[in-house]
Amino acid sequence: MASPKPRCSSFATTSRTHIQPSGVTVDDSYLTEAKSSQNRKFSQRQKTLSCQFSIGGHLSPWPTYTSGQTILHNRKPCSYDYRKRAGSWQQQPLGTTKPRYLEQLENYLRKELLLLDLSTDSAQELRLQPYREIFEFFIEDFKTYKPLLSSIKNAYEVMLAHQREKIRALEPLKAKLVTVNEDCNERILAMRAEERYEISMLKKEKMNLLKLIDKKNEEKISLQSEVSKLRKNLAEEYLHYLSERDARKILISDLNELRYQREDMSLAQSPGIWGEDPVKLTLALKMTRQDLTRTQMELNTMKANFGDVVPRRDFEMQEKTNKDLQEQLDSLRGDYEEVCKEHDILLQLHMTTLKERDQFYSELQEIQRTSTPRPDWTKCEDVVAGGPDRWQMLAEGKNSDQLVDVLLEEIGEGLLREKDFFPGLGYGEAIPSFLRFDGIVENKKPTKKDVVNLLKDAWKERLVEEQRSESVYIKQKETVVQLLKEMTNADSHNEGLITMENLSTVLKSTFPFKKEERIQELMEAGGWHSNSSNADLLNYHSLFIEDEEGQSMPFVQKLWEQYMDEKDEYLQELKQELGLELHDKVTLPKVREALMNIDPGLDKQTLNSYLSQAFQLPMTELPEEGEEKEEAIMEQLQIALEQLQMIDLRRMGPREQEPAS
């Protein structure tokens, strides 16, 4: 039997080499740091240990029936080698111990695992290295199975490399998850703030409605007390009239009795006055008394039947009062029912808001439970120019989203300074009007002084613009409100819709001095077309809304353009009426006369306000018409026209008044 050859060189080589299949590269950068600390110690032990792993170049036999760990040989039972080994197992004594080669491998594995630093992030990768080396020892020892074992090892290495690449690809999702979490937190905070504001507004509205209900209840109680008082007064008056009636009946009866007695006495004292037979007179008196008694009974019957009847005038007055009170009561009852309905709606809204709040709170708790830690913004102190102090100033009072914008702005400032030109954004509708340009824009790289001078010029222009009278804006807003009011009045069904014919009527009544073509322009801006009919409906509320940038609709813009054009035409007529050049001087009487000629409908107060603005005089210091000092007040025509351009200037009547018929 040949003597065994030492195998130290082969083990020393395989411990530092990883077998790879062709075309596959395994990233071992994660092992560099661990290997650098172990290679020096391992290279010395490996030369001694690897020589002891095999005795005579053969593995020591170790039966499977011995105590300790069991090694199962994955061989076919029918093979010759299997039967040979099975016979050899039976010849082994029962006290055979674990092979020395296996013990040395296990001892080497335990030592290498103890020497590893498992506190780092790549502890699992480092823990895999000793097992990899043990597997390489097996590959080198088993020459027959070396290709198969190498392919198995390479397959596992390729799979590990693939898994590491997938882990690296998933790393950016952490940052995205942080950003999504912060966005969700911002939205939840905004929704909670909006919810608190809506709840406070609903509470205020609820208190106002409760106050209104209390006020209506007080009015109702007051009206009920007034009705009770009137009923009481009516009953008292009724009793008073009954007593008066009875007293009158008694008084009439007494008066009649006294009259009868007086007549009887007069007849008894002078029977010859009548010149007739007393018997006949007595009979006539008896018949007369019977008629009187019958008449009195009829009168008493009439009074008894109609004694409770009040005068028609009083009845109508009381009926009118009762009707008014009934109408007030019905109105109050309707208001009370409407307030109750609104209160129920508010309660439903309140309950819905509470449910939404609980739902949002649950979502917030869930997001806070699953969210990742917030980023450490203090790391940016060394990156931003100016150090920690400037970063603290930039980051004060800002959330994470705003801090990202600040950081990007700081990083992008350097890039912007290096650019000499910027591409224009074009003229799209989504681009703000002040950024619309097509072409190359030069980067002027202004200094701080240039920016300060530009701001000063802007403020000067703004101050000049603010010197204009606010009456122009106020009058324009009043005109828009009046126009909307007239359209609302024309909307008889209160549906927010009017016909084109109604629109034309409203425009002509609101602007009686506008020309027909300008009325047509307003109707076209409102949505009228040549193929439209007078019966077409128009949502007039849509004419007065504003977009997200605060821009008015074409209808209001056209209204403003026509106002400016009409003001320019008015001033041009004034200039033509004066017959002067812009650099000529003009006196106050001439301007007064010219204004009255071009606009005879001007009232005195409006005329004085125009003259006060044109000559920059208070209205209290304006001379009356015909005074001598009027001629002394003069101004350059151009300046006077510019002063009139600043105020609300419009025609008050036609150019020539029509003669009265």
Which of 159-168, 190-199, 309-318, 433-442 is the most confident on average? 190-199
The token pair at 624 is: 């009356």
Q: Is the pLDDT of residue 418 over 70?
A: no
CB distance 556 to 473 below 8 Å: no
Task: Choose the weakest-confidence range: 133-142, 149-158, 458-467, 597-606.
Answer: 458-467
* One-letter identity of residue 111: K
Give the DSSP letter string of 132-144: HHHHHHHHHH-ST
Instruction: Please indicate whether residue 551 or residue 599 has the higher confidence score (pLDDT).
Output: 599
Q: How many CA atoms lie within 13 Å of 115's alpha carbon, on the beta-carbon side?
A: 17
| Beta-bridge mates of residue 636 | 585
Query: So what's the pLDDT on residue 214?
Result: 92
421-435, 539-553, 571-585: range with highest mean pLDDT: 571-585
Strand partners, 477: none
- Residue 265 CA, chain-centre distance (Å), reads 106
| Distance (Å, whole) CA 540 – CA 189 | 38
Tokens of residue 182, six digits: 């912060």
In this predicted structure, what is the pLDDT of residue 22?
34
Cα of 45 vs its chain's centroid, Å: 74
What confidence score (pLDDT) does residue 193 get? Answer: 93
Q: What is the pLDDT of residues 424-440, one digit of tens each?
A: 888 887 888 778 888 88
Q: Output 658 or 617, whichever has higher pLDDT.
A: 617
- Per-residue pLDDT of 529-539, as tens digits, reads 766 666 678 88
Helices (H) and strands (E) in the chain, counts: 18, 6
Task: Give the C-alpha separation, 462 to 148, whole Å.
Answer: 86
Q: Which residue has the tokens 């920016």?
A: 451
Q: Quick one: pLDDT at residue 208?
A: 93
Q: What is the mean pLDDT of the chain?
A: 76
pLDDT at residue 150 is higher than 50 = yes
User: Each residue of 553-573: pLDDT tens digit?
Assistant: 888 888 889 888 988 998 898
| Number of residues in the chain | 661
Distance of CA 179 to the CA centre of its chain: 23
Helices 500-510/516-525 angle, 10° precision: 130
Neighbours of 579 (CB within 10 A): 9
**Taking the alpha carbons of 160, 162, 164, 166 in that order, is the dihedral positive or negative?**
negative
Q: Left if phi > 0, otherwise alpha if psi is -120 to 50, otherwise beta: which for 618?
A: beta
Contacts 24+ apart (CB under 8 A), 391-399: 399/182, 399/186
Q: b/e for 452-485, b at 16 or more Cβ within 10 A?
A: eeeeeeeeeeeeeeeeeeeebeebeeebbeebee
596-633 pLDDT per residue, tens: 888 888 888 888 888 888 888 888 888 877 676 667 78
Q: CA–CA separation, 302 vs 25, rounded Å?
A: 132
Q: What is the mean pLDDT of residues 102-128?
A: 80
pLDDT level of residue 186 (50, 70, 90 thresholds): very high
pLDDT at 28: 43
d(CA 400, CA 387): 19
In contact, 515 and 534? CB cutoff 8 Å: no
Cβ-contact 610, 595 below 8 angstroms: yes
pTM for this prediction: 0.34
Residues contacting 500, CB < 8 A, separation 6+: 523, 528, 532, 533, 534, 535, 536, 538
Percentage, residues of the chain above pLDDT 70? 77
What tokens does 21 get?
Answer: 């299949």
| Closest alpha carbon to 599 in 651, 645, 641 | 651
Give the residue-averaged pLDDT of 517-545.
Answer: 80
- CB hemisphere CA count around 18 (13 angstroms): 20
Say what the pLDDT of residue 194 is: 92
Query: What distance in Å separates the CA atoms of residue 394 and residue 384, rounded to the nearest whole number?
Result: 10
| Least confident residue range of 51-60, 254-263, 488-497, 502-511 | 51-60
- Range picked from 6-10, 228-232, 578-582 for highest mean pLDDT: 228-232
Distance of CA 220 to the CA centre of its chain: 40
* pLDDT at res. 496: 84
The secondary structure of residue 2, as a DSSP letter, is P
Amino acid identity, position 377: W
Give the Å distances, CA to CA, from 441 to 414, 420, 425, 451, 650: 18, 9, 10, 18, 43
Q: Which residues contact 150 (CB under 8 A, 6 or more apart)?
A: 19, 139
Q: Give Cα 20 to chain centroid, integer Å.
A: 62
Nearest CA among 127, 115, 61 for reference residue 88: 61
Contacts 24+ apart (CB under 8 A), 376-383: 377/403, 380/407, 383/407, 383/410
What Å distances lie between residue 307 and 233, 240, 244, 248, 251, CA to CA? Answer: 18, 12, 10, 12, 16
Question: Residue 507 in contact with residue 519, Cβ under 8 Å?
Answer: yes
What pLDDT is recorded for position 123? 72
Q: What is the pLDDT of residues 433-490, one digit of tens each?
A: 778 888 888 877 777 677 778 877 777 766 655 555 867 777 888 888 888 888 888 8
Residue with tokens 């301007």: 591
The span from the CA of 593 to the CA of 158, in Å, is 102
Residue 91 has pLDDT above 50, yes or no: no
Mean pLDDT of 248-263: 83
Q: How confident is the model at residue 293 (pLDDT cuts 50, 70, 90)?
A: confident
Alpha-carbon torsion (454, 455, 457, 461), positive or negative: positive
